[in-house]
Structure 1
Amino acid sequence: MPAFTPRDLPLQDLHIVLGVTGSISCYKAADLASKLRQAGAAVEVVMTPAAAQFISPLTFRSLTGRDVIVDMFQAAEAEAHVEVARRADAMVIAPATADCLASLAHGLAGDMVALTALATRAPILLAPAMDNHMWEHPATQENVLTLRERGVAFVGPMEGRLASGRTGAGRLAEVPQIIGALRQLLGQRTGDLRGRHIVVSAGGTHEPLDPVRFIGNRSSGRMGFAIAEAARDRGAFVTLVAGPVALETPWGIQRVDIQTVAEMLVALEQATADSDAIIMAAAPADFRPAHPADHKIKKAPDQSSLTIELAQNPDIIASLPGGGVRVGFAAETRNLADYARQKLPAKRLHFIVANDVSAPGSGFGTETNQVVIFHDDGRVEEFPLLSKYAVAHLILDRVRERLQPQS
């Protein structure tokens, strides 16, 4: 079993106020409340009377373990809107209706959600949900612009099928997108990597043999994506250069998709021109077919073997001229320490993260990793089996120590 650390919970010990207003998409707010708690947050829910027509306050009370306030005058706590607002580390309003946006933009306080939003000094994230014509109306767009100018953050609305059966912009963002936007918002306010540009590579590459076949490896990209998320959560602007992987782009991260080592090298050269750090978590192919076929290679009736000539790919991190703090990875199946130490000077790395991909829980496609960090000054740090998100923070701690002061 992996060792559990507080860093497995990205919202550990934070107090999040969840405002719920009257939309059919209220059902997603219940899942959001649950997922916020799973991420380590204490969740307190305030609702409008309209929202209570769509979903019972008891649902949120069951999910959060806290009383839900709909009517300020029936709350057990005196001046409930003020006290809830002061407890908040952040307030999320999901769904946020057109009426909610108008109230907040014009300082109206007709319900508990608007009262709390007006009283809090915590960052506010709005997740709008409404008919696409309502969203596109000039009055709504003016309200959105007003709120943005005041520092209110938005996630969505998304394009898609609406409750009316029409299609357009107005769908409530999905729960992972809302939580990602919240984590980004908090990182930009208090994270120790604010103002930094972190470049991360992830996944393997596909080197074409013919139009339908390729040479690649089993890299899932999970380690690189975890590093990108952790860097975003700490306030960094993140560029993620990703090979062909089956992973959703984390909210707030600039993703560049590539297929081959040559494409990855070009993308990283561009991304690292102004970066503070490059973390090379990808597993690019060492070799490529020297002469890829223009058409699918066909099997002859009497053919028993096929010989493919391979050419060596460039070493990406060794080829990059700068990038700031330089971090490499060594995925090995034997002689872990020897191979990792050899790569440090050859690739001009500040440190290298090594793991035995044949070890249980530490290989490609797992949610966990067990790493050893070898530093260019000779230090060696060994860690137990951890979640990849926790490992990502260990790496970023060491990147932060190496960063040059910001001008």
Structure 2
Amino acid sequence: MLDSKHILLIIGGGIAAYKSLDLIRKLRESGATVTPVLTRAGGEFVTPLSVSALAGTEVHRDLFDLTKEAEMGHIQLSRSADLLVVAPGTADLMAKMAQGQADDLASTLLLATDTPMLLAPSMNVRMWDHPATQRNVATLRSDGVSFVGPNEGDMACGEYGPGRMAEPLEIVAAIEAAFGDGPLKGKRILVTSGPTHEPIDPVRYIANRSSGAQGTAIGAALAKLGAEVVFVTGPADVAPPSGVEVVKVQSAAEMLSAVEAALPVDAGVFAAAVADWRVASSSESKIKKKNGKMPVLEFAENPDILAQVSQMKTGRPTLIVGFAAETDDVIANATAKRLRKGCDWIVANDVSPATGIMGGSENDVTLISKDGSEDWPRMGKQAVAERLALKIAKALSD
């Protein structure tokens, strides 16, 4: 809950501004006080009256309000809040934040504060993917700005992809995590999850039975302890956790790119079941049967994401946790994998069909480190995640 917390909410000019109305309502239901700031462009999508009615207070719009500016009102606004939230965070607002511009009330508030900031981006997929926007994202992250979203989906413009603003409940969860006084507060942790799909042709792919349930549980447990979580997921059956930054990918190559873009982090938890191989040259057209002849597929090895991050010469995360899903000689194979990859811990489990673990609701793991192996009792995946998150928190605090 957010009892007694003061949120300064900056509403940017995008179609997702309508979600800010529901966000205000949900924040107040959680006990927070909301002071809204509406940009000029934001006022084209939602009215000051609707924002004010939901917030229960006046809406701030103009930098040059002589009465308030006689008392340096923009300075007081920016520093009286416990958290600054920008939702929707447009490409324009992000560019101003990254470059330190201050030509209106919103951008001035964002520059004149030392209060923590949370940004919920919202824009067209091409704008989000543009190199300039991605440079701004990297700059803001390095400046300590936290992100929630953007999500992937249909756009108001008719296109599809990443750029949709996170849903209000996701933003509330991220705000709660930002206020968390847990042992991982101030730590940025990368989690990979789910399977990868390696295309054979436009309709077929190589995959595995991973549901993504364990990775989702780990992401949620880490966020609950106060961590800023970057959650890179393949096409999993289980929805990603709330209150984390979600990056959706398909293939191993895409997952590697997303992981590299997320760095630097304090810790990395590589729970994804990444395909070891891909088709060397996937077909751009559907492969047809030809007189009963079987097609010949040539395979190439996928990038080893865990090994690449574990063996980084500079900027390596303090703690790297890998996963080993084995069907035979579980402990021996997992121990060898830890040494071969160079990670700090390996979470090993037996995924032979008789266990029912792959795609199931429980897990039976052994945690392997340089100090040896630690057997955990069989338990639900959420319980495994919570236990692992606590161990990670202790390791990062030592």
Alignment of 1:227-306 (within 5 A): 227-272=218-263, 274-300=264-290, 302-306=291-295
Distance 1:345 1:293, change over 3 A: same
Confirm or deny: 8 A CA contact 1:357 1:364 kept in the other structure: yes
Q: How much has 1:380 moved relative to structure 2?
A: 1.2
CA deviations on 1:76-132 (whole Å, 9 max, x unpaired) are: xxxxxxxxxxxxxxxxxx99769x96xxxxxxxxxxx9xxx9xxxxx7488x9xxx7
Q: Corresponding residue for 1:199?
A: 190
Q: How much has 1:135 moved relative to structure 2?
A: 6.9
Q: Distance in 1 between matches of 2:79 and 2:53?
A: 14
Q: Distance in 2 between matches of 1:190 and 1:287?
A: 42
CA deviations on 1:296-327 (whole Å, 9 max, x unpaired) are: 10111x22422211111121110122222010
Alignment of 1:309 with 2:309, yes or no, is no
Q: How much has 1:354 moved relative to structure 2?
A: 0.6
CA deviations on 1:29-62 (whole Å, 9 max, x unpaired) are: xxxxxxxxxxxxxxxxxxxxxxxxxxxxxxxxxx
Confirm or deny: 8 A CA contact 2:217 2:382 kept in the other structure: yes
Q: Secondary structure at the match of 2:180?
A: helix
Q: Distance in 2 between matches of 1:294 and 1:217?
A: 22
Match of 1:396 among 375, 382, 389: 389
Q: How much has 1:345 moved relative to structure 2?
A: 1.3
Match of 2:180 among 169, 182, 189: 189
| Contiguous gaps of at least 5 residues in structure 1 | 1-14, 18-93, 102-112, 118-122, 160-166, 168-172
Q: Distance in 1 between matches of 2:216 and 2:345?
A: 19
Alignment of 1:367 with 2:358, yes or no, is no
Q: Distance in 1 between matches of 2:318 and 2:59?
A: 38
Distance 1:238 1:183, change over 3 A: closer
Alignment of 1:209 with 2:200, yes or no, is yes
Q: Corresponding residue for 2:323?
A: 329
Q: Distance in 2 between matches of 1:133 and 1:254?
A: 29
Alignment of 1:45-84 (within 5 A): none
Alignment of 1:151 with 2:144, yes or no, is no
Supply the AA of the counterpart residue of 1:402.
A
Distance 1:381 1:241, change over 3 A: same
Q: Secondary structure at the match of 2:334?
A: helix
Q: Secondary structure at the match of 1:398?
A: helix
Q: TM-score, normalised by structure 2?
A: 0.59
Q: Distance in 1 between matches of 2:348 and 2:49?
A: 49
Distance 1:397 1:140, change over 3 A: closer
Supply the AA of the counterpart residue of 2:267.
A
Q: Corresponding residue for 1:384?
A: 377
Q: Distance in 2 between matches of 1:208 and 1:95?
A: 39
Supply the AA of the counterpart residue of 1:231.
L
Alignment of 1:352 with 2:342, yes or no, is no
Distance 1:384 1:150, change over 3 A: same
Confirm or deny: 8 A CA contact 1:355 1:362 kept in the other structure: no
Q: Distance in 2 between matches of 1:138 and 1:314?
A: 52
Confirm or deny: 8 A CA contact 2:267 2:319 kept in the other structure: yes
CA deviations on 1:177-209 (whole Å, 9 max, x unpaired) are: 37x845861673321100000100001111111
Confirm or deny: 8 A CA contact 2:48 2:59 kept in the other structure: no
Q: TM-score, normalised by structure 1?
A: 0.58
Q: Secondary structure at the match of 2:254?
A: helix
Q: Distance in 1 between matches of 2:220 and 2:344?
A: 22
Q: How much has 1:136 moved relative to structure 2?
A: 4.1
Confirm or deny: 8 A CA contact 1:187 1:234 kept in the other structure: no
- Give the percent of matched residue pairs that are identical in Structure 1 and Structure 2: 35
Q: Distance in 1 between matches of 2:184 and 2:282?
A: 43
Confirm or deny: 8 A CA contact 1:241 1:256 kept in the other structure: yes
CA deviations on 1:315-372 (whole Å, 9 max, x unpaired) are: 1110122222010000111110111011111111111001111266652222221111
Distance 1:203 1:359, change over 3 A: same
Distance 1:303 1:222, change over 3 A: same
Distance 1:376 1:95, change over 3 A: closer
Q: How much has 1:155 moved relative to structure 2?
A: 12
Confirm or deny: 8 A CA contact 2:364 2:378 kept in the other structure: yes
- Paired residues in the alignment total 274
Confirm or deny: 8 A CA contact 1:124 1:153 kept in the other structure: no
Confirm or deny: 8 A CA contact 1:211 1:295 kept in the other structure: yes
Confirm or deny: 8 A CA contact 2:174 2:243 kept in the other structure: no
Q: Corresponding residue for 2:211?
A: 220
Q: Secondary structure at the match of 1:228?
A: helix
CA deviations on 1:351-396 (whole Å, 9 max, x unpaired) are: 100111126665222222111111122x211112212111112222
Distance 1:299 1:385, change over 3 A: same
Distance 1:319 1:266, change over 3 A: same
Structure with larger Rg: 1
